[in-house]
Amino acid sequence: MKKISLPEHSELLSSEFIFGVATSSFQIEGAADQREPSIWDTFCQQQGRIKDGSDGLVACEHVLRWRDDVDLIASLGVDAYRFSIAWGRVIRANGSINEEGLAFYVNLVDALAALGISAHVTLYHWDLPQYLEDKGGWLNRETAHKFAEYAEVVAQALGDKVASYATLNEPFCSAYLSYEAGIHAPGVKDRKKGRQAAHNLLLAHGLAMPKLRKHAPNAEHGIVLNFSPCHPASDSAADRNAAAMAHAYHNLWYLQPILTGNYPDLLERLAAHERPEVAPGDMQIISQPIDFLGVNYYTRTVFRDKNDWFSDVPPTEPPLTTMGWEIYPEGLTEVLTDLQHTLGKLPPIYITENGAAFPDEVVNNRVHDEARIDYYNGHLLAVHRCIEKGVEVRGYFAWSLLDNFEWAEGYTQRFGIVHVDFDSQQRILKDSGRALRQFWQTRKLHTQVAEAL
């Protein structure tokens, strides 16, 4: 079996660097009868939306099996666990608090703490309660205020027991994929709506920040964004311009307002009727300081010019994952150093997601996923290089702990370092999980010895 290895003096080996595994509520929890339906429940019921026609009603049965899953996490030797909270498990349609639902997360955080694992909470990982979508969802500014109220309830319950709160996971997906490209719930296809959803999501982030600071003054508060370097399909001026626009639209659109209080200049290129409505004071709310930036990284993207706009060119050359994504670890170093060059010193960063789906096979209770070990090695080295180049990266979370419901791809994509048999719910640590476990445990031992000396 291959190993995880890093340069000997890498910052990633120090005791200050945090290693963890990540999941999200809708993708693993199941127990749908104990929460309000979300936009993803509705989406899954619509013909043709999910590749294998599946849904998230059972998923990994995590709500039932959470104690075993916590033991599994602890057995890996990680410092931290990143998970998300299902809004509809906490706040009912009538506005009352679902105490049992909230208690699930309190118990989870307490159990993690008892094992010395820090909890990194994401408040919104795409599972908007359907009752809010019925009132316009992210197209309605009121949803941003509802989010702040929900964030306050969670922060009141979990407070400083949580190490970090991220308001949103990948607003690019909740806005662009969901309201503009129509491939994620609720499946809307409209540019203006995409831009409005993006703005209201950023507003939600900004409105929640003071609530989080108030009730968890010692925790870190921030947001998780996804980045992908945007490369031109050719050297032509038109393609280079297309790639630059894609970078502004997909990467800068979410980070720049938070760090500077302004949208990228590309906003001016949109027709007036496609621009988001921005109320006076919104940009100040959005741009308050964050303690950390969560970064999700998977691949790079290639764009070509299409009628003075951009269009992506799907990769065809190997190495690709089963998502069809190119394996391109150097893109992580490139995109973060590039963003830091454009926007100035970035806040401290946690790589909150990184991982890959491969065609795993169970043979005699083992999964020999060498390609995933290579993927992790390549990307950990890229994180190491980020730090060498002056980007302050403080932690890394593997996506994902478990094989799970991969959104529009259903259960066809296995991202876990733990294999899940969705019939029996049996979990098997893949070879990548074994390699990471060995790496994490050895690292722990070394730092403990170093600290004892």
Binding site for ligand FCB (CB under 6 A): 24, 27, 169-170, 173, 226, 296, 353, 399, 406-407, 415
Minimum Å gap between C-beta 102 and ligand FCB is 22
- Our answer to whether residue 149 is catalytic in this structure is no
Q: Toward ligand FCB, which CB reaches closer, 148 or 166?
A: 166
Q: Toward ligand FCB, which CB reaches closer, 174 or 333?
A: 174
Q: Toward ligand FCB, which CB reaches closer, 209 or 224?
A: 224
Q: Toward ligand FCB, which CB reaches closer, 147 or 157?
A: 147
Minimum Å gap between C-beta 183 and ligand FCB is 12
Set 29, 170, 220, 406: catalytic member: 170
Return d(Cα 410, Cα 56) in angstroms, integer.
9
Minimum Å gap between C-beta 353 and ligand FCB is 6
Minimum Å gap between C-beta 298 and ligand FCB is 6
Q: Enter the tokens of residue 48.
A: 């043709």
Set 133, 326, 334, 353: catalytic member: 353
Q: Toward ligand FCB, which CB reaches closer, 127 or 305?
A: 127
Minimum Å gap between C-beta 50 and ligand FCB is 13
Q: Toward ligand FCB, which CB reaches closer, 82 or 193?
A: 82
Return d(Cα 165, Cα 82) in angstroms, integer.
10
Q: Toward ligand FCB, which CB reaches closer, 303 or 397?
A: 397
Minimum Å gap between C-beta 225 and ligand FCB is 10
For residue 201, is it left (φ>0), alpha (ψ between -120 and 50) or beta?
A: alpha
Q: Tell whether the torsion through CA atoms of 106, 134, 202 and 300 is positive or negative.
A: positive
Q: Toward ligand FCB, which CB reaches closer, 138 or 399?
A: 399
- Our answer to whether residue 170 is catalytic in this structure is yes
Minimum Å gap between C-beta 97 and ligand FCB is 26
Return d(Cα 276, Cα 274) in angstroms, integer.
7
Active site residues: 170, 353
